[in-house]
Amino acid sequence: MRAVLQRATQASCTVDDKITGAIKTGFVVLLGIEDADTDDDLHWLAQKIASIRIFSDENGLMNKSLADVNGDILLISQFTLFAQTKKGNRPGFTRAARPDKAIPMYEQMIKTLEELTGKKVATGIFGADMKISLLNDGPVTIIMDTKDKENH
């Protein structure tokens, strides 16, 4: 499972000219799910997202978490995070989980993040053609991969 977190001062997702989710201060999380992902991966990543401290404190240091700034999450399913670009010029997506696995895991990630943060998670629509608008704050962009949890 892979996530790209972007610290934002505002963000929204639009599908067919309708806003499906919007936030003010918080994270835009692009979430990629692959076939090898497990519930352990999901819970590890959700915990990391909920507790990572990448918001500035009064001294300008990244010491505050989402809860510390009363921030929100806009969660977007993003299978292209598992693009394979080694050969040719057209990316392959064979590592990305198929919808029958990815949709339940995406829905579980929404539930888990809501439980951890105590707030509703704004979302896009799985598999839709989404337009994401955000004002990246910093800019601060962090990439997390559940493969990294083995190294700690």
CA distances from 151 to 81, 146, 148 (A): 21, 10, 6
What tokens were used for 95?
Answer: 């590592």
Distance CA 101, CA 103 (A): 6
Q: Mind giving me the DSSP string for 97-136?
A: PPHHHHHHHHHHHHHHHHHHHSSPPEE--TTS--EEEEEE
Residues taking part in catalysis: 80
